[in-house]
Each structure stands twice: as structure tokens, then as C-alpha cells.
């Protein structure tokens, strides 16, 4: 081989682009700080407002055809409280509302695909707060919730009425509580709202405002039961403090998921539990009635 041939440049197997060639639209994931998001408070508020509007409007639009059909066929106004089909449709319509909300969140977080979704939100495990702590805190929160509702009681909530309306409504509610609600609510409140507020007005005010907004949207469901409202408030403050402490969204999601998941399991198996309890009561009553026959 000649000297000229050995001095010729070698073509690399993989072409590496320089920062100038990549263009201004591409953001390197490693450079993204979840506490310094590329959106501000106006965008965060718009996402929050749209999420509330969707969760109200989509179920109304979903039940309208059914309401019109029943009015035409029966010629009378529906019993909105006791119509199990109408309740089921309204609960099922929360799923497309959640999907549309996630689309809006994705557009804002990624700037229409130009930024990574999970990396921008801080979807990582922090070194100081792993899965075990998340599960333990979720169980502790559930115990606190049970104690608060047991001590202070309260009237039947709208959620209780939905659960009792039909078995299919109960199952759909359990599905939403596990597979969509934790993700949607965490990316909105702790993923988008909190970092924008924290950067602008500080951690304390950001925790307070996010907690109030989160609890506030649930007041409509539980307005007649202050014990349940207090449980939601405790959950919201805890999740937001975890987001502030860990600077990560993933622990908040896992805590929320486990908290809802345990309740969803109870919703699904509650009919079996109640049936078993009633059988045990019947056996106990029969034993008590027949017991004097065997006493000396």
C-alpha cells in the first residue's frame, strides 16, 4: 500500500451529526430538567382547563343519544339518578375523555413530537425514593383514608351511587381508577402544573395551588362528605410533596396507582366479600338458634 493510500481518510460506519446539523428543533433528552420545563404557567393552565372541560363535556355528549332515544320511545323524562344504563354510559365516556387529555398533554410536553415525552416529565426513579417506599406510602395513605372515613363518616357520595348502580359500572370504574386516572392526573398536576408553578412562584405556593386544584376537581363527586374530601386533600398534598422532594414524576404515579389499585380490587371483589359475609351471618344465626339444644 502506498503512502497516499494510507493517508486517505476512513469513512465512518455511522455518520455522526454535529449540533449545527441537527437543527434547532431537536432537544437532547439528557439536557432536559423536569423542574425547568419548556412550558410556562399559561400553557399549564390551558391544559388543566381543557382536562376539566373534557371530563365534563365528553360524558354529556355520550349520553345525549341515549337520552333522546329514551324520550322518543317512552315520551317521558328520564330518571337521571336511577337509570343504570345512563350511569354506565357516562362512566364509560370518561375513557375517551382521558385519551383526549393525554393527546393534549403529549402535544404540550413534546412540542408536537420534538421533545421526548417521559424524559421531559421526569419519568425516572430517583435514588432516594424507590418502588418499596412508594408502595409503603400508598398503603399508609390508604390506611389513613379508611380511618378518616370511619371516624367522621358522612353521607353517601356520587361515587357510592355509581358503584351501587350496576356491576358493569363498578368494573368500568375500577378499570379507570387503575389504568387511566393515575396517569392522566399525575401528568397534569405533578407533571405539567407543578414544575411551571414551582419555577415561577416557589415550591411552597406550587404545592399549595396544585393540591387545591387536584382536590377541587374531586369536590363535585364528594361534596357531601367532608371526610372523603379531606382524604383527597391529604393524597394530593402527599403526592405533590413527593414530586418536590424527588424531583421526579414516576414515584407519584406509582403511589397513585397502588392507592387506586387497592381500592379497585375491593370494588371488584366487594360483591363476593359481601356474599361471603352474609353467608357467615346466616350460619352464625343458625348456630345461635340451635345452640340451646346442645347445652346441658
pLDDT of residue 76: 63
In degrees and rounded to multiples of 5, residue 177 shows phi and psi of: -65, -25
pLDDT of residue 80: 66
pLDDT of residue 12: 42
pLDDT tens, per residue, the chain with 296 residues: 444 444 444 444 444 444 444 444 444 445 578 889 999 999 999 999 999 999 999 999 999 999 888 888 876 666 666 789 999 999 999 999 999 999 999 999 999 999 999 999 999 999 889 999 999 999 999 999 999 888 887 778 888 888 888 899 999 999 999 999 999 999 999 999 999 999 999 999 999 999 999 999 988 778 888 888 899 999 999 999 999 999 999 999 999 999 999 999 988 887 777 676 666 666 665 544 434 433 34
Round the average pLDDT of the chain to a whole number and report it. 84
pLDDT of residue 4: 46
Are the C-beta atoms of 220 and 294 separated by less than 8 Å? no
pLDDT of residue 31: 57
pLDDT of residue 164: 86
Whole-prediction pTM value? 0.82
Residue 201 cell numbers, joined:
412562584
253: Cβ contacts below 8 Å, ≥ 6 apart: 123, 182, 183, 186
In degrees and rounded to multiples of 5, residue 7 shows phi and psi of: -85, -5
Instruction: Render pLDDT for 164-190 as a digit per residue (tens, 0 to 9).
Output: 888 999 999 999 999 999 999 999 999
Residue 12 cell numbers, joined:
465512518
Amino acid at each position: 500500500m502506498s503512502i497516499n493510500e494510507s493517508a486517505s481518510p476512513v469513512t465512518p460506519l455511522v455518520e455522526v451529526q454535529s449540533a449545527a446539523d441537527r437543527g434547532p428543533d431537536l432537544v437532547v433528552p439528557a439536557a432536559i430538567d423536569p423542574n425547568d420545563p419548556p412550558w410556562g404557567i399559561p400553557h399549564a393552565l390551558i391544559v388543566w382547563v381543557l382536562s376539566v372541560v373534557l371530563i365534563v363535556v365528553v360524558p354529556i355528549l355520550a349520553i345525549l343519544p341515549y337520552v333522546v332515544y329514551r324520550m322518543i320511545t317512552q315520551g317521558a323524562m328520564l330518571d337521571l339518578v336511577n337509570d343504570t344504563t345512563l350511569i354506565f354510559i357516562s362512566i364509560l365516556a370518561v375513557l375517551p375523555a382521558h385519551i383526549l387529555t393525554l393527546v393534549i398533554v403529549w402535544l404540550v410536553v413534546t412540542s408536537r413530537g420534538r421533545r421526548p415525552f417521559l424524559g421531559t416529565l421526569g419519568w425516572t426513579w430517583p435514588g432516594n425514593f424507590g418502588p418499596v417506599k412508594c408502595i409503603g406510602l400508598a398503603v399508609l395513605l390508604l390506611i389513613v383514608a379508611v380511618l378518616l372515613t370511619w371516624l367522621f363518616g358522612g353521607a353517601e357520595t356520587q361515587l357510592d351511587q355509581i358503584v351501587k348502580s350496576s356491576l358493569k359500572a363498578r368494573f368500568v370504574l375500577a378499570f379507570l381508577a387503575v389504568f387511566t386516572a393515575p396517569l392522566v392526573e399525575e401528568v397534569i398536576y405533578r407533571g405539567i402544573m407543578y414544575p411551571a408553578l414551582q419555577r415561577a412562584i416557589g415550591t411552597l405556593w406550587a404545592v399549595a395551588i396544585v393540591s387545591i386544584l387536584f382536590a377541587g376537581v374531586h369536590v363535585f363527586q364528594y361534596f357531601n362528605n367532608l371526610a372523603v374530601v379531606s382524604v383527597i386533600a391529604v393524597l394530593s398534598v402527599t403526592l405533590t410533596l413527593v414530586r418536590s422532594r424527588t424531583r421526579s414524576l414516576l414515584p407519584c404515579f406509582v403511589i397513585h396507582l397502588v392507592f387506586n389499585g387497592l381500592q379497585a380490587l375491593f370494588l371488584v371483589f366487594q360483591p363476593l366479600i359481601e356474599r361471603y359475609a352474609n353467608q357467615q351471618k346466616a350460619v352464625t344465626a343458625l348456630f345461635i338458634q340451635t345452640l340451646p339444644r346442645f347445652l346441658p
